[in-house]
Structure 1
Amino acid sequence: MTEILIGTKKGLFVLEGDVESGFGVKARAFPGQAVEYAMRDPRSGRYLASVTSWFYGGRIWVTDDPAGEWEEAGGVALPEDGDASLARIWVIEPGEADGVLYAGGDPGCLFQSEDGGLTWELNRGLWDHPTRPDWTPGGGGLCLHTIVPWPDDPDRLMVAISAVGVWLSDDRGVSWRYSNTGIVPEYLPEEARAVPAQHCVHNVRRSPARPERLFMQFHGGVYRSDDAGATWIDVGDDTALPSDFGFPIVVDPADPDSAYVIPLVGAEDRTTPGGSVRVWETRDAGATWTPRGDGLPAHDAYLTVLREAFDSRGSGGTLELYFGATSGDVFGSGDAGATWAAVAEHLPPVHSVRTA
């Protein structure tokens, strides 16, 4: 039995079931409100949801039962002595140390919790970074959307910000450095590409089987790192994929050479190429890519899949894959992408999909 947390424009939906037998709605929370992201901490079992209020901006809520009462977490706010406001929280990620969680938001901010998500504190090392005045937002805002902890090393952390790029810390976020070597922002004039704060990273996932191996979906390109993000190699040019633009990326936990992307036409037309919904898979670290779409809409389906709306559960040949679209459709595979089926239809536009 698999549980899927689906953040949508009109609330959180918790589904339960399996691909073969189907899924049903187990719980719904925050009806009518934008849920950007929701997850379940595998260590404590606690559920956390990022909810965007039209008045208060981004907030984090926690509960032990998604069908019960939710409690607003404390400390999710920017300094009162500044003029910036917290637009939204994009992502929540468990850290390596017990009880530690991280949350990334707009405008390019990182929060940390030491008590399982009940209270939070702004990371001042990143917030006060001297290059911040040069940061520019991507199309979705100045969003810190990717948080990558390192196994068995709570001091190491990676984050990615659109459109600022990849950042690394080796001291639990006290200090940060850029790590965009090898990434080419072709959307910029050539003379401007060396500016470090112009890299529009869309998503980064680390391989649990080989922690120094990472895959990135960029604004234009799919990249791989074999040295923990120090340098990046382009593995997704448009000779192998129908488009080098997309938002989410997923890595098979059992195989560091295996990753999945969902290409979209491009920045001006963020829909599936040709109206054919396909998940593209590599089994050789990006040397080749193969479309997987048995059971997915093949014609006249111009879907948009956002950066947090693709996730997995399990590994290997029985890897489960799930993604949702802004059309309100959610699709799943129980055999590593070989075949697909609809697991939910007619939901509000999907912002995020996470398995629990």
Structure 2
Amino acid sequence: MTERAWIASRKGLFELLKRNERWTIGPVAFLGEPVSMVLADPRDGAVYAALNLGHFGVKLHRKDAGAEHWVEITAPAYPLKPENSADPVDWTVKFIWSMAYGGTDEPGVIWAGTLPGGLFRSTDRGESWSLVQSLWNAPERSEWFGGGYDVPGIHSICVDPRDSRHVLVGISCGGAWVTHDGGSSWALSAKGMHASYMPPERGDEQNVQDPHRIVGATGTPDQLWCQHHNGIWRSGNFGADWHEVSAAPLSNFGFAVAVHPTDGNTAWFAPALADQTRIPTDAALTVSRTTDGGKTFTALRTGLPQQDCYDLVYRHGLAVADDGCTLLMASTTGGVWLSENAGDSWRTISSSMPPVYSVCFG
């Protein structure tokens, strides 16, 4: 039963609880501090919160199931940069942009994607971390560039529920990469995507793509969805190749995407106007939903602000619960909405929260 969700914001981590059939904002942790990412691990009930404290650096905390307090744990960190390195990138974690838990056969394994483009893996629930050197040392990394930030970053981590060693990551801007051996080796996996912001002769290059978010369904793991800078793409073979979806209403630009946990044909998006505008079409907030793999879409508006609305939903600002019906969405201007009927209607949880970076159930 879906009874709890988390809202990571610029001024703390808010707990959302369902009590007496009604969702209400509950306790807040790290009040006043920017929480960039929250991850609820269903394997053991632990919750992870990543903080970006500016001058004091990136911090990571964990709250175990049944625990009363959060415990600070080790944050991912790069090794010392070799003195003779020609790499212009500063080897310092600027931001934890994504987190994912490993497979059921890998208790304790947690993945973290960071700016400037590093992927980290922990085998002990975040007590220690290792940089995935094979991806960091890929020659193609020299061509990655920032998409939304000054440096590239890993915002999506998809672990194949059938094989924990099979992992796909999304990079802005560096395309999609896949490993079949738990991270020992990697290969580009963005075939079919197109970057119209590049010179025409380079638009199809896999290493310059800007996938804004890539997610999949545990029940139909081959089916992945990508909200790209230039549209929406879908894969039916865990990212081996991608096909553009052109039927999206209003706009095919946006950042967030959520996928039904057992039906990979059903997905939700938060469309916006590109590029510099980045507001909802006609200043009216809409969620678009497909239930047939992208052949058709429905624009869902009931309960969402339809006038003078300038909310943008970040990459991790839209989530669907395990029941496939309960959705949570939050925006850069502090709006929080919840639906319990697959998006057909929404109710406002808050219109005055701090800017929201990430939401999740669990």
Structure 1 residue 73 displacement after superposition: 2.0
Aligned position for 2:180:
170
Looking at structure 2, the residues matched to 102 and 155 of structure 1 have their Cα atoms a distance apart, in angstroms, of: 12
Structure 1 residue 281 displacement after superposition: 0.5
Residues 1:157 and 1:228: Cα distance change in structure 2 (over 3 Å): same
Structure 1 residue 206 displacement after superposition: 1.0
Which one-letter code corresponds to 2:47 in the other structure? Y
Aligned to 1:241, which of 230, 235, 249? 249
Looking at structure 2, the residues matched to 126 and 48 of structure 1 have their Cα atoms a distance apart, in angstroms, of: 24
Aligned to 2:93, which of 86, 95, 103? 86
Give 3-state SS (helix, strand or coil) of 1:211's partner: coil
Structure 1 residue 31 displacement after superposition: 1.9
Structure 1 residue 75 displacement after superposition: 5.4
Which one-letter code corresponds to 1:13 in the other structure? F
Deviation track 1:294-326 (CA, whole Å, cap 9, x = no partner) reads 11111111111000111011335xx10110011
CA contact (8 A) 1:62 1:118 kept: no
CA contact (8 A) 2:192 2:204 kept: no
Q: What is the TM-score of this pair, normalised by structure 2?
A: 0.92
Looking at structure 1, the residues matched to 267 and 20 of structure 2 have their Cα atoms a distance apart, in angstroms, of: 20
Residues 1:196 and 1:254: Cα distance change in structure 2 (over 3 Å): closer
1:22 aligns with 2:23: yes
Aligned position for 2:146:
137
Q: What is the TM-score of this pair, normalised by structure 1?
A: 0.94
Looking at structure 2, the residues matched to 249 and 264 of structure 1 have their Cα atoms a distance apart, in angstroms, of: 12
Residues 1:240 and 1:39: Cα distance change in structure 2 (over 3 Å): closer
Identity of aligned residues (%): 33
Aligned position for 1:36:
36
**Normalized per residue, which structure has more strand?**
1
Structure 1 residue 19 displacement after superposition: 10
CA contact (8 A) 2:301 2:345 kept: yes
Aligned position for 2:117:
108
Residues 1:21 and 1:241: Cα distance change in structure 2 (over 3 Å): same
Give 3-state SS (helix, strand or coil) of 2:146's partner: coil
Q: What are the within-5 Å matches in structure 2 for residues 117-132 of structure 1?
A: 117-132=126-141
Structure 1 residue 65 displacement after superposition: 6.6
Q: What are the within-5 Å matches in structure 2 for residues 200-211 of structure 1?
A: 200-211=210-221
Q: What are the within-5 Å matches in structure 2 for residues 148-163 of structure 1?
A: 148-163=158-173
Q: What are the within-5 Å matches in structure 2 for residues 190-201 of structure 1?
A: 190-201=200-211
Which one-letter code corresponds to 2:308 in the other structure? D
Looking at structure 2, the residues matched to 109 and 57 of structure 1 have their Cα atoms a distance apart, in angstroms, of: 16
Looking at structure 2, the residues matched to 240 and 91 of structure 1 have their Cα atoms a distance apart, in angstroms, of: 26
Aligned residues: 351
Which one-letter code corresponds to 2:50 in the other structure? S
CA contact (8 A) 1:274 1:302 kept: no
Aligned position for 2:341:
335
Deviation track 1:2-38 (CA, whole Å, cap 9, x = no partner) reads 211111111111111169523132x211222210111
Looking at structure 2, the residues matched to 328 and 137 of structure 1 have their Cα atoms a distance apart, in angstroms, of: 25
| Greater Cα shift, 56-65 or 105-114 | 56-65
Residues 1:329 and 1:240: Cα distance change in structure 2 (over 3 Å): closer
Aligned position for 2:71:
71
RMSD (Å) for aligned C-alpha atoms: 1.8
1:269 aligns with 2:277: yes
1:314 aligns with 2:322: yes
Give 3-state SS (helix, strand or coil) of 1:274's partner: helix
CA contact (8 A) 1:19 1:333 kept: no
Residues 1:257 and 1:196: Cα distance change in structure 2 (over 3 Å): closer
Looking at structure 2, the residues matched to 228 and 85 of structure 1 have their Cα atoms a distance apart, in angstroms, of: 31
1:95 aligns with 2:99: no
Looking at structure 1, the residues matched to 81 and 248 of structure 2 have their Cα atoms a distance apart, in angstroms, of: 49
Give 3-state SS (helix, strand or coil) of 2:239's partner: coil
Deviation track 1:214-243 (CA, whole Å, cap 9, x = no partner) reads 1110001101101110110001x3x63211
Which one-letter code corresponds to 1:335 in the other structure? N
Which one-letter code corresponds to 2:192 in the other structure? G
1:279 aligns with 2:287: yes
| Greater Cα shift, 112-121 or 187-196 | 187-196
Looking at structure 2, the residues matched to 147 and 198 of structure 1 have their Cα atoms a distance apart, in angstroms, of: 18
Looking at structure 1, the residues matched to 56 and 239 of structure 2 have their Cα atoms a distance apart, in angstroms, of: 35
Deviation track 1:112-155 (CA, whole Å, cap 9, x = no partner) reads 11112222211111111122222111123411000000113121
Which one-letter code corresponds to 1:216 in the other structure? C
CA contact (8 A) 2:81 2:91 kept: no
Gaps of 5+ in 2: 83-89
Runs of 4+ more than 6 Å apart = none
